[in-house]
Amino acid sequence: MRSSPLAERTIVITGAARGVGAALAHEVARRGARVALLGLEKAGLDAVAASLPGPALAVEADVTDLTALDAAAHTVRAGLGRPSAVVANAGIAEGGAFLASDPAAWRRVIDVNLTGSAHTARAFLPDLLHTAGYFLQIASLASLGAAPLMSAYCASKAGVEAFAHSLRAEVAHRGVGVGIAYLNWTDTEMIRDADRYAVLRELRTHMPPPARRVYPVDVVAARLVRGMERRRTAVYAPPWLRLLQPVRPALPPVVLRVARRELPRLEAAGQVRYTGPLGAGGRADRAAYRPGP
């Protein structure tokens, strides 16, 4: 793995205490990178950092707090050197009908997933300009086609896709690459938690066979890192997701048809209910976040 373009480079990953972020940390470390792990769960970040084979730094920071991210960027620069790649991976989700959702929690999903990604870019872009580096935005199948009962998550992932496209056009002439990673269902605590709720499990299992499959997190991470090594503008995990790009306009009518058929049955069974934050990461964010007036 020492022949990797990432070897001896500093890589920043947000949301790195678990799931895709932790798997990415292991994958880039195997390729000889120095890894900076950012997130809210310091104990989890420390544990991941201690398990890596090379230099690693765990920095506690809320991606919605630009001051904290600026401080984290300074810490990374001093401890590991200027980053050559930054992965905006931090994200949370909740499920249920829009009107049943808590407005503050709905807004928090947007703040973490979208504003947090923009803050991450704002804090680390000066370093990437210096290193002619690469910014990878973690998006989702939800960026390609929105689904019911996940309105905040779908809105945030559509937003990060648009943000990454815009940022790429701004910084390409300055040598910085910007990629978008489109992920399908991945075996993380968030998805396992979502499957505990009948309505979200039904949402997944009523998708076509390739789309309903849950993919191992280490397989997804390996594909994302190969995209990073090649500075891809788009990375698809699994690869077949790229086939949805040309048919994106056809997806909303298909989703609408399925929703009209299935949601009345689920509502009658009392299965359409608000889930609150999904997964341990979502619960950690709720515990750390204190909304203002």
DSSP string spanning 181-232? EEE-SBSSHHHHHHTTSHHHHHHHHTS-HHHHPPBPHHHHHHHHHHHHHTT-
Contact 187, 213 (CB under 8 A): no
Whether 267 and 181 have beta carbons less than 8 Å apart is answered as no
Residues whose CB is less than 8 angstroms from the CB of residue 150 and which lie 6 or more positions away in sequence, other chains included: 93, 95, 142, 200, 203
CA pair distance 234, 228, nearest whole angstrom: 10
- In DSSP terms, which residues pair with 236 in a beta bridge? 182
CA angle in degrees (0–180, nearest 5) for 122-23-49: 75
What letters, b where the CB count within 10 A reaches 16 and e where it falls short, cover 198-207? ebbebbbeeb
Catalytic residues: 153
State in Å, rounded, how far the first CA of the chain is from the last one: 50
